[in-house]
Amino acid sequence: MLRLSKLTDYAVVVMARLALDGAGPAGHVQTAPGLASATGIAEPTVAKVLKMLGSAGLVEGVRGARGGYRLTRPLPSVPLSQVIVAVDGPIALTACVDGGVGSCEAEGICAVRGRWDPVNDAIRKALSGITVADLAGPAHCPAVRATASLAPMLAE
């Protein structure tokens, strides 16, 4: 199966929750513990995801007491591919990341490989066309649906 890390899933959920308080300097910050209890994800895990999203510039962390996180951009303008790259690293199906022609140390083994570049490109393209808002819409699972007024906000 084509696998995507769970952390990416968490990232989308956390970002959806962050969207409730707006994006940019005007938005209110939410703490990691607060997001954890709101989403049901364990607190250390939420913190980890937020750090990764912060490094990628998708969320902004405010340090110190009364600190927290907020989105830097509204969800509809965040392509899913950026979240995946932030959490999972470069989007590529094989270890041989495309472009690195001389990067095959063990050439005898590398001899085996096909050329996956067109596939990587196709997938990247597909993921760029989807925004986080597309995923964060009204969920079919009970508890997320219970977080209520999420959908209208994401429609923005």
Which one of residues 48, 56, 76, 85 is an interface residue with DNA (CB under 7 A)? 48
Judged by CB under 8 A, which of 26, 101, 148, 155 binds a copy of itself? 101
Yes or no: say if 35 and 50 are a contact pair by the CB < 8 Å rule. yes
- Axis crossing angle, helix 6-18 with helix 32-39, rounded to the nearest 10: 100
Residues 76-95 that bind a copy of itself (CB under 8 A): 80, 84, 88-94
61 binds DNA (CB under 7 A): yes
| 54 vs 108: CA distance, rounded Å | 40
Compare residues 54 and 79 and give the one whose CB is closer to DNA.
54
63, 108, 148, 152: residue in contact with a copy of itself (rule CB under 8 A): 108
Binding mask 6-45 for DNA (x = CB under 7 A): xx--x------------------xxxxx--------x-xx
The Cα 111–Cα 139 span in angstroms is: 45
Burial class (CB in 10 A: 0-12, 13-18, 19+), 129: exposed
Closest approach of Cβ 19 to DNA, in Å?
Answer: 16
Which window, 2-10, 73-81, 99-107, 122-130, contacts DNA (CB under 7 A)? 2-10
| Region at 57 (left for phi over 0; alpha for psi -120 to 50; beta for the rest) | left
